[in-house]
Amino acid sequence: MLVSLIGYRGTGKSSVAPILAARLGWDWIDADAELEHRAGCSIKQVFAAEGELGFRKRERDVLQELLQRDKLVLAAGGGAILNADTRRELREAGPVVWLTATVATIAARILEDASTAKRRPQLTSAGGVREIEQLLAIREPLYRECASLEVDTEGWDVDQVVERILAFLRKRNLPGA
C-alpha cells in the first residue's frame, strides 16, 4: 500500500511527502524528480526535446513502476491524473490525497520557487495565472475522481497538513498512522 499526493503544481506535494513519510516510517519519492533523474535532464528539457506526449509517456512509465511499491508516499506530478489508467492505478494502490490551494496562492508559490522556471515548462500560451485557471478547469474533475481525501493547504503549515492526512489515515486504520 502507498499514499499518493496529487494536485496542481505549488499545492505542497513535495513539501508534505517527506514529512508524511517520516511520520509513517515509510519511504517517499517525488515522481517528477524521479523522472528527471531517469531522463538525465529537467522536465522543461524533456518537453523541448520530446513534446508533451513524450513527457507524458515517460511520466506514465515512472508512475506505473512506482505505484507497485509498498510503504511509500508518492508525490505525483500535477498532470499525472490526465491518464485514465494512472487514475485507476492511483486509487488501487491506496489512499489518494488531493492537495488544493487558490489560484492566487498557487501562482505566488510558483513564483517563490526559484527552480520552477528552470525545471518546468509553460504548458499553455497564456502562462501565469491564466494558465493555472485553464489547467485547473480541466484537471479538477480528474483530481476529484481520484481523491480519497481533499486537503486545502491555504493557511496551513506543512505539519498541520500532515496531521490532517494522518487523522484521515488513522480512521482507515492504516498501519503506522
pLDDT tens digits, one per residue of 23-48: 999 999 999 999 999 999 999 899 99
> CA torsion sign, 135 to 140 to 145 to 151?
positive
Which helix (H) or strand (E) segment holds residue 106: the answer is: helix 103-112
Q: How far apart are CA 28 and CA 59, in angstroms?
A: 17
Q: pLDDT digits over 44-63, tens only?
A: 899 999 999 999 999 999 99
Cα separation, 46 vs 56, in Å, equals 10
User: 78 pLDDT exceeds 80?
Assistant: yes
pLDDT at residue 5, as a whole number: 98
What is the rounded distance in angstroms from the CA atom of residue 116 to the CA atom of residue 53? 20
Other CB atoms within 10 A of residue 78 CB? 22
Q: Where are the domains of the chain?
A: 2-168
* CATH superfamily of this structure's domain 2-168: P-loop containing nucleotide triphosphate hydrolases (3.40.50.300)
pLDDT band, very low/low/confident/very high, at 112 (cuts 50, 70, 90): confident
* Long-range pairs, 41-46, Cβ under 8 A, ≥24: 42/118, 42/119, 42/120, 43/119, 43/120, 43/121, 44/118, 44/119, 44/120, 44/121
Q: What is the CA radius of gyration of the chain?
A: 15
Q: Return the DSSP state at 82.
A: G
31 closest CA partner among 12, 70, 1, 5: 5
